[in-house]
Amino acid sequence: MTPTIDLLASHRSDRSFQSTPVSDEHLDAILRAGHLAPTSFNAQHISVVVVRDANTRQRIAAVAGGQPWIVSAPVFITLVVDFHKTAVGAALNGQQQQIQRHLEGLIAASTDGGIILSTLMIAARSLGLGVVPVGGIRANAEAMIELLGLPEQTFALCGLALGHVHEPAAQKPRMGIEAFRHDERYNRAALAPAISAYDQHLMRHWQIIGRADGQSWSSTVGRTYARNYRPDLKAQLLANGLSAD
């Protein structure tokens, strides 16, 4: 339909990268695009920490559970919920910030982080680079604070590994659009048939690409969402001056 829609529709998470550096020109352009993305109240409560140092990327990969693409990609961008920045702004105006203590603050900043992450991904892919978003850095918020020198009232939300692709990834199929798009009112009846069909489709996809360990969507989501897989997160947020009351 349009080059932009074609680019968006071709999304894939690449996990195989060349060692070739990303040029300063390309990296600056990607970051400028993210910098101009919208935020609630124009609060700009997301900052990014750009890591090229191989040793630091190795340590971030360990925090994230040993994801090797964080090491092989020459650039890793951490998106940070940054209520330290807004607290400085409030203080300059003679006010004491409170939003970092409330759920709405974290929801608003996390939503904006997702918008910025998507913007960075689109910008990078438009330049022919591969990307893979990483949420595993939330496994140890304290370690990320130390690695990146983050101040109080901040939180490493997610990351983005990017670089020149070595072996392109296969595009993972999605559930039928009837489970995503609801016209006028939410259609609960569409879910079970769509999920059952998708489970079969995804298992065929795993077979085609040779993934013997591939599981159905409902199995993976059921197993993952049957527990709190970040049990220490709340305590780590509180320790750095954030809460969700």
pLDDT tens-digit series, residues 33-57 = 999 999 999 999 999 999 999 999 9
- Going by the DSSP 8-state scheme, the letter that residue 133 receives in this structure is E
Residue 80's φ and ψ, nearest 5 degrees, are: -115, 125
At 182 the pLDDT is 98
At 77 the pLDDT is 99
DSSP string, 23-79: PHHHHHHHHHHHHTS--GGG---EEEEEE--HHHHHHHHHHTTS-HHHHHSSEEEEE
- Taking the whole predicted model, whether its pTM rises above 0.75 is answered as yes
- Which regions of the chain are under pLDDT 50? none
Three-state SS for 148?
helix
Q: What is the pLDDT of residues 205-243, one digit of tens each?
A: 999 999 999 999 999 999 999 999 999 999 999 999 998
